[in-house]
Structure 1
């Protein structure tokens, strides 16, 4: 019988870093949900029903991340259904990956002014929240990589061109190439905004665009385009590279498209108090980003499932979900040693 591997020191350390970075944010959300005005210059903001709902949502998202980080350190975490680990991590790393990259670079460009945005939230809140997001993102992604290496080791040893039978490959090709086309448009628009263009931007958004904001647009555009290219490479299966390399690019890029697009759609639909008042092309871009990210994610799920079925991603001795409870994978005994 295969024994569930214990978490190594690296995985435990990374998970602890992530959990420690989450605690201040979760504490702040609890305070706000219980009526405390800490960090808020306008106490009436916390009485807004939409703001309350957003606080519940973001608290729940971070609570899920905390449970997963804890699972990365425990043996029961290795027995969780794959989708229950991969789906929230896909969205979470897509959101946090952008913050991990753009926040330090934004500080280099703008200094402390990056967090002095005015409005009803104190600047120190942004420092604490985004600092926590960076620690959470780095810790969670590192713990997840080490977790995935132990649970699905063949992902890190097989090549992208490893042959496998696929009943849905024609469908995957259509989705991958279609996603690349839309991602190229999204990336082009974001690159335009990053380099000073204002086509499609509301006048107030164009006037308020900072160097850090332009940087974020550029990073999001790059992720969108890179995800499309990586997904096509995965589907074509003719790239002589380790499988995990294009997988990571497609994972982060599609997760970013879906996660940030979904967040923007929630903000727009609820008319949240802290929304930037985005309209027109901005909302349309986020909507298509969300849909394209979802299509990429579904295509990737089909691809991983089919590769797993033929034992290129998941070796036979460590199946994706089941355990060797009956000992039917033990070597046969032939009466000699």
Structure 2
């Protein structure tokens, strides 16, 4: 298949993967109860927290579709590099743990028995298949499209390896390694290790393990592309866990670890970009 056609296929497939989630969020904003199992959960969708969250995620999906088009068609080369790199980096941080953890988690959950989600939020089981299945496809599609775009536009950076470590970078690597190992401990021990709330099932704990692996990749991997995805996961994992905390309750470990890891991850991003400009 010619390269241009392959890129069109990936773009079209990924845009289609965005549409079910986008349609579901718009339906909830319009007052629909589709996919909502209980009346209490349906009423909760009108709470300010959920309305704002749904509006934000609709906006994120629309941005994702715009990114895919810019990364696929020639006019995207005229878009300033940072305007593509930053949102793709954020998307990588949010979606890569799902793309890595969900397939493995579902297999392990099937072996262990039970359901992948705790089921206490009033949503139908098919909602998770639509949402998280779409996230996996979006992660693969967006990162694939960006990889092709980056190799053409910034070939030297794509082949680059991390810069020589400074004392501050060594400290940042130590912090990030600790954060990655903490996620692996959370995946195994759960509440006994003060893990974030809401990660109770085997599949959910596999997500924590996948996050830990990607965080470790940020600190230990050589190729810039792998480290780039890993730093995004490192910076965003903690804040995401705080935002999604069950009823807003978090222990002391999670916010402290989130702040330290985000600072360390941002420093590692600096080591990747300090001598290169994305134009």
Same fold (TM over 0.5): yes
1:159–1:264: structure 2 CA closer, same or farther, 3 Å change rule? closer
1:160–1:263: structure 2 CA closer, same or farther, 3 Å change rule? closer
Match of 2:204 in 1: 213
Match of 2:11 in 1: 15
Q: Select the residue among 275, 279, 286 that pairs with 2:251.
A: 279
> Residues 184-231 of structure 1: CA distance to partner in whole angstroms, max 9, x if unpaired?
2212222222333655416x949x63322332222222222221123x
TM-score normalised to structure 1 length = 0.73
Match of 1:108 in 2: 107
Is contact 1:200-1:282 (8 Å) kept? no
TM-score normalised to structure 2 length = 0.86
CA distance, structure 1, for counterparts of residue 275 and residue 74 of structure 2: 27
1:36–1:154: structure 2 CA closer, same or farther, 3 Å change rule? same
What is the RMSD computed on CA atoms of the aligned residues? 2.7
Residue pairs, 1:248-267, within 5 angstroms = 248-267=225-244
Match of 2:50 in 1: 51
Q: Select the residue among 118, 128, 131 that pairs with 1:129.
A: 131
Match of 1:196 in 2: 189
- CA shift for structure 1 position 160: 3.6
1:95–1:121: structure 2 CA closer, same or farther, 3 Å change rule? same
Residue pairs, 1:69-148, within 5 angstroms = 69-111=68-110, 113-115=115-117, 117-148=119-150
- CA shift for structure 1 position 118: 3.0
1:83–1:227: structure 2 CA closer, same or farther, 3 Å change rule? same
Report the count of equivalent residues. Answer: 272
Is contact 1:175-1:299 (8 Å) kept? no
Structure 2 residues without counterparts, runs of 5 or longer = none
Is contact 1:91-1:258 (8 Å) kept? no
Aligned residue for 1:36, secondary structure, equals coil
In our comparison, the structure showing a higher alpha carbon Rg is 1
- CA shift for structure 1 position 277: 3.1
- CA shift for structure 1 position 68: 0.4
CA distance, structure 1, for counterparts of residue 134 and residue 266 of structure 2: 27
Aligned residue for 1:66, secondary structure, equals helix
Moved more, 26-35 or 108-117: 108-117
Is contact 2:70-2:76 (8 Å) kept? yes
CA distance, structure 2, for counterparts of residue 69 and residue 197 of structure 1: 37
CA distance, structure 2, for counterparts of residue 25 and residue 143 of structure 1: 20
CA distance, structure 2, for counterparts of residue 48 and residue 198 of structure 1: 28
- CA shift for structure 1 position 264: 2.7
1:289–1:199: structure 2 CA closer, same or farther, 3 Å change rule? farther
1:259–1:130: structure 2 CA closer, same or farther, 3 Å change rule? same
Query: Does residue 302 of structure 1 match 2:279?
Result: no
